Structure 1
C-alpha cells in the first residue's frame, strides 16, 4: 500500500492547479469535466424535487390540511439549505387562504420557527398578523406585533390601527389600551374616529380614569383634542355620579382654550339631576351655560323635566316646561311624552287632556312613544280600561304604532278579561306589518291560561313563532296557572313538553311546582324537588322561603326549622324574610324558646328587624293582652327609623278595645293623628263596635274628641 506523505499531497495539489490552468494531463481534465456534468444533473434533479415539494405543500395548506403540509415541508430537509423562511411563509399564507385555519396550529408553527429556525422575517410577522386579525384572534395578534418589534421590525400603522379598531368593536378594554399605548410608543396616532370610539367604550365601562389617560396622552404628544373628545368623558363622569369632577374638567377645558358647548353643559345638567343637586345649583349651571354663549336646547330641558317627573315632582316639571318656552326653546314630542306619562301616574286626567290638546294644536302626531307613555302610565295606576280605550281609538285613527304598543294593548285586554279579542288583534298586528315577538305571545298565553288552560296549551302549537320558539317564560306562564288551579294533567303535559324542547324548570317554574305540592300536601315530593334544585344549582332564596312559609302555614314548624338549619349548612344564606316566616310561626305557636333562638341567630347574621318583624311581635303581644309591651315595640320601631303602618295600630287598638282600655284608645288615636297615619276601614269598625258596646254613649265628650282625632279633623 503506497504511503501518503505531505509531499504527495503537495504534488497532487500542484497537479490540480495545472489541470485547471492548462491543457496538460488531458485524461484528468476529461474526468473532471465528467464529474462536473454529474453534479449539474444532480442539482437539476434536486431543484425539480424541491419545486414539486413546494407545490404539494402549498396545495395541502390551501386545502386546510395543515399536518400534510407540515410533513411535506419536513421532507424538504433532505435538500441542502431547505426549507427556507420563505417556504414557511408560503405555508402560513396558503393555510390562511383555506378559510379553515386554526390559530393554535399557526401559533405552534411560529413557536417552532422561534426555537428551531428558520428565524421569522418581516414577511412572516406581517402574514401572521394579517391572518390573526382576519380570524379575530386579537390577543395573540398583539403579542406577535410586540415580538415583531422586539425582533427589529416595525409593524405598520394600518395593521395596528386595524387591531385597535377590532379590539374596540369586541369590547376588549384593557387590550385596547395596551394597543393604544404601543402605537403611541411607535409615534403612531389613531384616527380621530378611533380615539372617539376608544374613549366612548371606556366611558361606558366606567373606566373614566383610563379614558382621560387616552386624552391626556394625546395632549402630551402635541395633539389637539376638541370639545367632542372631552364631552364623552364628561358624559361618562356625569352618568357615574361624578358631577363635581365633571365641573372641574369643564374649568380645565377653559384653561386649555377648549370652549365647552351645549353638549358639555347638558352632560353637567344630567349629572346634577341624577345626583339630586339643589335647584339653585341647577339654575346657576343654566346661567353659566348661557353666559358662555351656549343656549340650553330641547335635550337640556327635557333631561331636567324627566328627572323631576321620575321623582314625582310634576309641578316643578311644568314650571320648567314654561321656562323652556319663555327662553325660546320649543318642546318636542319627547318632552311632552315624559310629562304625559307622569300626569297619568298621578291620575291627573284633566291635565292629560289639556296637554293632548296642546300637542294636537302644535301639529304633533301621536308617536308610538306617546301611546306607550299614555297607556303605560294609566296601567301603572290600575286604569287598564281607560288605557284600552285610548289604544283602540289610536288604532282606529290609523296612527303609527310599534310592537311595544301592541304588547301593551295585549296586556290591557288580558287585564280586562277580553281574551278572545287578543287573537283578532294578533291578526290585525300582522296585517299592519308588525311581527309579534315572544312578549306578544306570552302575554296572550297568560290571558288564556287564566281562562282556559287547555286552550292556552294548544296555543303553543298554534302561534307562528317564526325563528323563535316558546321560551322559559311561555312554559312558566302555563305552569304557574296549572299549579295555581291544581291541574295535575296540564302540569304533567307542560313538563313533558319542556323536556322535549330541551328546557329544565328554572327557579320560577320550580317554585310554582313546590307551591303546588305544598297545597296538595305532597311535602315529600316538594323536598325531593328541592334536592334536585340544589343538585342542578338552580336554586333561589325565594323558592326556599316559599317552602318555609308553606311548611309553617301547614303547622310543620319543627320541620321548617330543621329544613332552615339544613339549608344554612349547605348553600343557603337566609335573609330577613326567612327569619320573619319562622318568627311569625313561632309567635303563633307560642314557642318562646325557638323565638329567642331565631332572634339571636338573626342578629349574629347582622340582619335588622324590619316592618314585618316588628308587626309579628306586636301582634303576638296584642293577642296575649300585653299592650304595654306592644307599645314599647312600637317605640323601638320609631327609634330604628321604621314608621308603624295602620295595620299595627289597628292590632293595638283592637287589643285595647277587647280589654276595655277606652282612654288608651283616645291617647293612641291622638298619636296616630300626629304621625299622619290615615285610618282605614278596620279602624272605623273598631269605633263602631265601641259604639255598640255603649262606650261612646257613656263618655260623649271624649267620644267626640276621638271621632275628630281618628278622622284627622
Structure 2
C-alpha cells in the first residue's frame, strides 16, 4: 500500500519543523501531609506510656527543641552539626515551666504538691499562657504530656485542640497531625460530634490563618482514616465561615472520591470551589481530569470540560490535551477529533503536543489516510515524533517499502531522524526477517552520528533469533560488550531465548550465569524462558525447580509462569496438582487465558479424562474465554480417540458458530474418531462431514478449498 497523500503533505510542508517533546508533564500539587507522631523526643520519652507513640516521625524543618548551650556533633563523615542549645533535664524543664507560668499568674507551688487543679479548663489556659510567655511549642507539648501522665487520663477535646493550634503556631505540624488523627479516628457521634469538633477548633484558635491550616489538616486526617463522608460534612461547616481547604486537600479529596466512585460528592465539591478564592481551581480541575481519564471515566471528563467555567475554572490547551490523549488511547478517535474542533471554536489553538497525540491515535488505529487528512486540515508540520507514529504503524503492517520512502522524505525536508526512528525501522525489518536491510539502517544511523541505544541492539538480537541465526545474535551481543555498553536483562533474555529454541539448554544456563556475574538480576521473563525450554526438551520436573527458584528470589510469577508449571504437571500426568495450580491463579489475581487452559486440557485429553476436560471447557466458556483453533483441536482429538463422535460433532458446530476454520489437524482427528467406531472410508466420511458443517465447496484429501 502506498500512502501518497502523506508524501504529498510532507513534500509541501516547510523544511523546518517545530520541536516536540514526546511526553507532556503536568504540575501536581504537593501534599503537605506529615505522618502523625506524638513521641516527641523529650527528656522522659523513654518512660512515656503515650498510646500515640506508635507513629514514626518524619523530619520537619525548623522544629523547635528545648536545648541550651552551643553543642557540636561530629559525624563519621567528618561533617559537623551545631545545635543552639543542649538538652535540659526533666527537673530543669519543670522549673522553667513553673517560672513562666508564675509570671502569668499561675502559682503551681511545689511540683509534687500542686496548688492548682489540673482540670481541662485550667490546662487549656495554662498551655496558652506557657506558649505566650515562651513562644516555644516544644515546651508547651512537654507540659501537655506531663499533665496527661500526672492525671493518669487522656486530655479532653478542648485541651487537645488547644495543643493543636499551639503546635501549628510553633512550627510543629507533626504533633498537630498526630492529635488530629486521634480526633478523626474517633469521630463516631454523627453530625453532633462533627459540630463539636468544628466549634472547639474554632474557639481554641489563635489566629484565622492558623485555624485555616488546622481545618485543612483535619480534613487530611479524615481522608487518611477513610472518613470521606465526615470530611465532606466538615467542608460544609467551613464554608459557612468562608474557610476552604488547601489545594493539596482538594486534590486528596478528589482522589479518594474517585477511588470510591462517588462522583456526586465531586460535583458538590466543584460547586464550592469558585468561592474559595485560592486561585488554583484550574490546577485542581486539571488534576481531577487526569484522575478521571486514568479511571476511564471519559464521558464525565468531557462533561467537566464543558462545565469548567461554571465551577470557577478555565479550560485551556492543557486540559484539552489530557482528555483528547485519553480518548485516543481508548480508541475514541471521533470523539477526540470532535473535542479538538470544539476547542478551536472557542479560540483555543492546539499545540504540537495535542496534535501529535491525535495523529498518533489515528496511526495506532491503522487510519493513516485519516491522520494525513487531519494534518492537512490543520496545516500541521510534521516532526520526528509525528513521523515515528506513521513509521511504527507501517512497520507493524510489514509495509517496509513505504517506511523507506518516509525515511527518505525526512532527509529531503531536513528533518533528522532520531534513535527512536531508526530503532523502529530496524525492528520493522527484523520482524519481516530482512536482517540485511536492518543492518543497512544501523550503518546509516552510525554514519549520521546517531548513537544506537541498547534497545537498538536488542531488536537486532531478536531479529537474528527469529531466523535461527544464533551466530549472528551472539556477534551482536558480544559486540555490545566490546563497545563498553552493558547489555540489559532484555538483551540477555533474547539471546537465552534463541538457545532454548534450538534446545541448547547448557548455553542458556551459561547466559544466566553471565547475567549474575555482570550484576544483572534475572527477571520473570528469564525464568519463563528457561522453564519453557526445559518443558520442550521433556524435563518437566526440572522446570518446576526453576519456578521454585523464581519464587525464592522474591519475584511474582505471571501468567506465563503458571502456564509453564501447569504444562509440566500435565506432561507428568499429575493432573490433580495441575488443576490445583490452575485454581490458585485466581487467588493470585491472575486470570487464566486460552493458552493456560489449553495446557491443562491437553493433559486431560492425553490421559483420556474427557469428562473432566469437558467440565473445564465449560468453566472456561462461563468465564468468557473464547476458544481458539488449537484448543478445539485438542478437545476434538481427545473425544475422537474415545470414539465419542457426538461430542466431536458438537465441537465442530461451535467452531462454525465462532467462525473458526478447521485445518488438517481437525480433519485427521475426525478420521481417527470414525475409524475408532469402525466406519469404512473414514477419510471420505470426514470430508463429507466437514463440507456439511462448514459449507466447503470441495476438498483435496484433507485440504479445504472454499
TM-score bin, normalised by smaller chain? 0.5 to 0.7
Residue in structure 2 matched with residue 197 of structure 1 by the alignment: 287
Answer with 255-264 or 353-362: which moved more: 255-264
Number of matched pairs: 540
- Distance of aligned partners of 1:484 and 1:155 in 2 relative to their CA distance in 1, 3 Å threshold: farther
Shift of 1:110: 5.3
Answer yes or no: is 1:483 the counterpart of 2:483: no
Q: Equivalents in 2 of 1:103, 1:613: separation in Å?
A: 70
Residue in structure 2 matched with residue 364 of structure 1 by the alignment: 450
Residue in structure 2 matched with residue 429 of structure 1 by the alignment: 515
Answer with 302-311 or 434-443: which moved more: 434-443
- Residues 457-480 of structure 1: CA distance to partner in whole angstroms, max 9, x if unpaired? 555666795443667755653552
2:330 to 240, 243, 248: 240
- Residues 223-259 of structure 1: CA distance to partner in whole angstroms, max 9, x if unpaired? 6544333222332333333434444444444443332
Alpha-carbon contact 2:570-2:578 (below 8 Å) kept: no
1:113 to 181, 184, 193: 193
Q: Equivalents in 2 of 1:479, 1:413: separation in Å?
A: 23
Residue in structure 2 matched with residue 611 of structure 1 by the alignment: 661
Q: Secondary structure at the match of 1:611?
A: coil
Alpha-carbon contact 1:388-1:413 (below 8 Å) kept: no
Instruction: Point out where structure 1 has 5 or more consecutive residues left out of the alignment.
Output: 1-43, 74-82, 562-579, 585-598, 639-643, 654-671, 676-713
Q: Secondary structure at the match of 1:612?
A: coil
- Residues 121-149 of structure 1: CA distance to partner in whole angstroms, max 9, x if unpaired? 64799757524524644863464344442
Residue in structure 2 matched with residue 416 of structure 1 by the alignment: 502
Q: Equivalents in 1 of 2:367, 2:624: separation in Å?
A: 41
- Name the TM-score, length of structure 1 as normaliser: 0.60
- Distance of aligned partners of 1:342 and 1:430 in 2 relative to their CA distance in 1, 3 Å threshold: same
Alpha-carbon contact 1:548-1:581 (below 8 Å) kept: no
Alpha-carbon contact 1:414-1:444 (below 8 Å) kept: yes
Alpha-carbon contact 1:305-1:339 (below 8 Å) kept: yes
Residue in structure 2 matched with residue 554 of structure 1 by the alignment: 641
Q: Equivalents in 2 of 1:493, 1:505: separation in Å?
A: 16
Residue in structure 1 matched with residue 427 of structure 2 by the alignment: 341
- Residues 407-436 of structure 1: CA distance to partner in whole angstroms, max 9, x if unpaired? 222211211222122233223223333222
Shift of 1:204: 3.7
Answer yes or no: is 1:182 the counterpart of 2:272: yes
1:299 to 379, 385, 396: 385
Q: Secondary structure at the match of 2:522?
A: coil
- Residues 327-373 of structure 1: CA distance to partner in whole angstroms, max 9, x if unpaired? 22111111111111121222223322221211121223331221333
1:326 to 409, 412, 420: 412
Q: Secondary structure at the match of 2:416?
A: coil
Answer yes or no: is 1:268 the counterpart of 2:268: no
- Distance of aligned partners of 1:99 and 1:472 in 2 relative to their CA distance in 1, 3 Å threshold: farther
Answer yes or no: is 1:651 the counterpart of 2:702: yes
Residue in structure 1 matched with residue 101 of structure 2 by the alignment: none
Shift of 1:544: 9.8
Answer yes or no: is 1:140 the counterpart of 2:219: no
Shift of 1:105: 4.4
- Residues 581-634 of structure 1: CA distance to partner in whole angstroms, max 9, x if unpaired? 6455xxxxxxxxxxxxxx5xx69xx94554229976998999585899789759
Answer yes or no: is 1:86 the counterpart of 2:158: yes
Residue in structure 2 matched with residue 568 of structure 1 by the alignment: none
Q: Equivalents in 2 of 1:227, 1:311: separation in Å?
A: 33
- Distance of aligned partners of 1:311 and 1:182 in 2 relative to their CA distance in 1, 3 Å threshold: farther
Q: Equivalents in 2 of 1:492, 1:245: separation in Å?
A: 49
Alpha-carbon contact 1:227-1:258 (below 8 Å) kept: yes
Shift of 1:212: 3.7
Aligned counterparts, 1:593-612, within 5 A: 607=657, 610-612=660-662
Q: RMSD over aligned Cα, in angstroms?
A: 5.5
- Residues 149-176 of structure 1: CA distance to partner in whole angstroms, max 9, x if unpaired? 2576347444354232563499647365
Alpha-carbon contact 2:368-2:390 (below 8 Å) kept: no
- Residues 177-206 of structure 1: CA distance to partner in whole angstroms, max 9, x if unpaired? 553343235455536554433333333444
Aligned counterparts, 1:206-245, within 5 A: 206-219=296-309, 225-245=315-335
Residue in structure 1 matched with residue 375 of structure 2 by the alignment: 286
Alpha-carbon contact 2:430-2:463 (below 8 Å) kept: yes
Shift of 1:445: 3.1
1:468 to 555, 572, 592: 555
- Distance of aligned partners of 1:322 and 1:214 in 2 relative to their CA distance in 1, 3 Å threshold: same
Shift of 1:306: 0.9
Answer yes or no: is 1:164 the counterpart of 2:164: no
Aligned counterparts, 1:335-414, within 5 A: 335-379=421-465, 386-414=472-500
Instruction: Point out where structure 2 has 5 or more consecutive residues left out of the alignment.
Output: 1-113, 127-140, 168-174, 205-210
Shift of 1:541: 7.7
Alpha-carbon contact 1:366-1:399 (below 8 Å) kept: no
Alpha-carbon contact 1:164-1:176 (below 8 Å) kept: no
Shift of 1:303: 0.7
- Residues 8-35 of structure 1: CA distance to partner in whole angstroms, max 9, x if unpaired? xxxxxxxxxxxxxxxxxxxxxxxxxxxx
Alpha-carbon contact 2:515-2:521 (below 8 Å) kept: yes
Q: Equivalents in 2 of 1:504, 1:250: separation in Å?
A: 39
Q: Secondary structure at the match of 2:414?
A: coil
Answer yes or no: is 1:315 the counterpart of 2:401: yes
- Distance of aligned partners of 1:415 and 1:136 in 2 relative to their CA distance in 1, 3 Å threshold: farther
Q: Secondary structure at the match of 1:310?
A: helix
Aligned counterparts, 1:625-644, within 5 A: 633=692, 636=695
Q: Equivalents in 2 of 1:419, 1:348: separation in Å?
A: 27
Q: Equivalents in 1 of 2:578, 2:685: separation in Å?
A: 53
- Residues 47-81 of structure 1: CA distance to partner in whole angstroms, max 9, x if unpaired? 545569989xx99x989x9xx99x867xxxxxxxx
More helix by share: 1
- Distance of aligned partners of 1:632 and 1:337 in 2 relative to their CA distance in 1, 3 Å threshold: same
Alpha-carbon contact 1:208-1:233 (below 8 Å) kept: yes
Alpha-carbon contact 2:458-2:490 (below 8 Å) kept: yes
